[in-house]
Chain A
Amino acid sequence: DADVTQTPRNRITKTGKRIMLECSQTKGHDRMYWYRQDPGLGLRLIYYSFDVKDINKGEISDGYSVSRQAQAKFSLSLESAIPNQTALYFCATSERTRPNEQFFGPGTRLTVL
């Protein structure tokens, strides 16, 4: 079984819709991250969480919100999706002592029409 799972793997939605992407991990890591990946722009950090009660904005948080429901679950929401949020989204986890050695999920491909 995969250590970091993401659902859904693919999603097509329309402008203005609310979307939630979910991430679960069985690695027992405290820290979790949400990234988006765009061609030519690389991976960019949206939000990160040190633990259930500590959530922080990343480089590009506008238009996104997150929820850390438990140590193992971290969800990303797009309150009102827009076409330029079309991208590949990755969840990642890390140990507190090695925060830069991150373990990524398989990704969610989101298309906003």
Chain B
Amino acid sequence: EDQVTQSPEALRLQEGESSSLNCSYTVSGLRGLFWYRQDPGKGPEFLFTLYSAGEEKEKERLKATLTKKESFLHITAPKPEDSATYLCAVPHGSSNTGKLIFGQGTTLQVKP
């Protein structure tokens, strides 16, 4: 059964304190891994797509990496506006259906 597990559930950082969020997956053949950001009271917002082990994507203070078993979202020198819940997801079944399996998310709080 395809599964996605994120850790930690919650993370508190001081502004400028770098850290990483983990997304472990068990799938029968990875067809992409997707990161989303969700602000309180809003719908998730797409961030990154990773397709193969070793691939990296960056956006501002965020860098997503992928191995054969997990993905990391590295946050460098975070700011309070980076506070959000970060979700990762993998496709279920054929990669072309849009059926995503989401992890439960990591809620990040960055204090000034």
Contact = CB atoms under 8 A, between A and B. Distances in A.
A79 interface: no
A45 B99 contact: yes
Contacts of A31: 98
Given A100-B89, A107-B43, A41 B34 contact: no
Contacts of A44: 102
Given A48-B97, A100-B89, A100-B98, A42 B46 contact: no
Contacts of B41: 106-107
A103 to B, nearest CB: 7
Contacts of B46: 101-103
Interface of B: 32, 34, 41-46, 49, 87, 89, 91, 95-100, 102-105
> Which 5 pairs of residues, A with B, have the shortest CB-CB distance?
A104-B43, A99-B98, A43-B102, A42-B104, A42-B102
